[in-house]
Amino acid sequence: MPSIYSERLRLRAAERADIPMFVRWISDPEVTEHLLLRLPMSLAEEEIWFENMISRPAPEHVYVVEAKFTPESLDTQAQWLPIGNTAFISILEIDRCAEIGIMLGEKSWWNRGYGTETMRAMLRHGFETLNLHRIWLQVYANNKRGIRAYEKASFQHEGVYREGHYQAGKYHDVFLMSVLRQEWDSQNKVKGN
Ligand SMILES: CC(C)(COP(=O)(O)OP(=O)(O)OC[C@H]1O[C@@H](n2cnc3c(N)ncnc32)[C@H](O)[C@@H]1OP(=O)(O)O)[C@@H](O)C(=O)NCCC(=O)NCCS
C-alpha cells in the first residue's frame, strides 16, 4: 500500500527493522504512562508481537508516523524522521467500525500538533479509503494531552467506562470518543454525499 501523506507527516508501513525503535519507545515510562502496557517488553516479545501484527488483515497493520524534518544545512534535502506509530486495532467488517490507537514515542515531538495531524490523516484514510462508518478510541481520563488532541481532531465524547483503568494505586475513568463518517464528510465537504 502507498504511504499516507498529510501536511507535515507521512504514515508508512512498519518494518521488522523498526522493532528496536518500538522497544525503545515502549521502554520509556513517560511514553507508556497512558497505554495498556504495564510490563517491560523484550526485543523477542516485540518480534512475536510484530509477526502477529503482520498476519492480521492489511488495514489493521501498524504504520510508522514520520515527520518531515529539514536539517540546518541548506544543501540537505528534507528527511523523514520516525516519531511514533498508529493503527486500527480491530475493524468490524459488517458494522464498518474500527478502534484506533496512537503512540508518539519521541517525546520532543509532543505538544506540536503531530498527534492531532496523525489522527486526522487516519480519519481520512479510514473513511475515504477503507470506507469505515465509525472510528472510535479509548483514552484514560488523566491523559489530558491525548483527550485534547482527539478533540482537536474532531472526536466526540460519547461515554465513560467508570473506573475502568487501574494505575498507581487509583482507578481512573476511561473515556470513549468517536467520529462518524457523516461528521467527517460534513467537516471536510466530501462531494457526492
Ligand atoms: C497523546 C498523543 C498522541 C498526543 O499527541 P501530541 O502531538 O502530543 O498532541 P497535540 O500537540 O496534537 O495536541 C495536544 C494538546 O493537548 C494540550 N495539552 C498538553 N498537555 C495538557 C494538559 N496537561 N492538560 C490539558 N491540555 C494539555 C496541548 O496544549 C495541545 O492542545 P493545544 O494545541 O490546544 O494547545 C502523544 O502525546 C502520545 O503519543 N503520548 C504518549 C502515548 C499516549 O498517550 N498515547 C495515547 C493513548 S490513548
48-97 pLDDT per residue, tens: 999 999 999 999 999 999 999 988 776 778 899 999 999 999 999 999 99
The domains found in the chain, sorted by start residue, are 4-188 (3.40.630.30)
Q: Which three cell numbers stand for residue 184?
A: 467527517
Residues with CB under 6 A from ligand 1: 31, 34-35, 84, 102-104, 110-116, 139, 143-146, 148-149
Evaluate if residue 192 carries a pLDDT over 70. Answer: no
Answer yes or no: are the C-beta atoms of 111 and 146 closer than 8 Å. no
Place of cell 495498556: 36
Instruction: Give pTM, 2 decimals.
Output: 0.96
Q: Whose CA is nearest to atom 17 of ligand 1?
A: 145
150 alpha carbon, distance to own chain's centre: 10
Question: Mind giving me the DSSP string for 72-94?
Answer: SSTTSPPEEEEEEEEEEEEEETT
Neighbours of 57 (CB within 10 A): 10
Cα separation, 65 vs 23, whole angstroms: 15
109-136 pLDDT per residue, tens: 999 999 999 999 999 999 999 999 999 9
Evaluate if residue 158 carries a pLDDT over 60. Answer: yes
Q: Whose CA is nearest to atom 27 of ligand 1?
A: 145
Answer yes or no: are the C-beta atoms of 178 and 119 closer than 8 Å. no
Name the H helices within 82-170. 114-124, 144-152
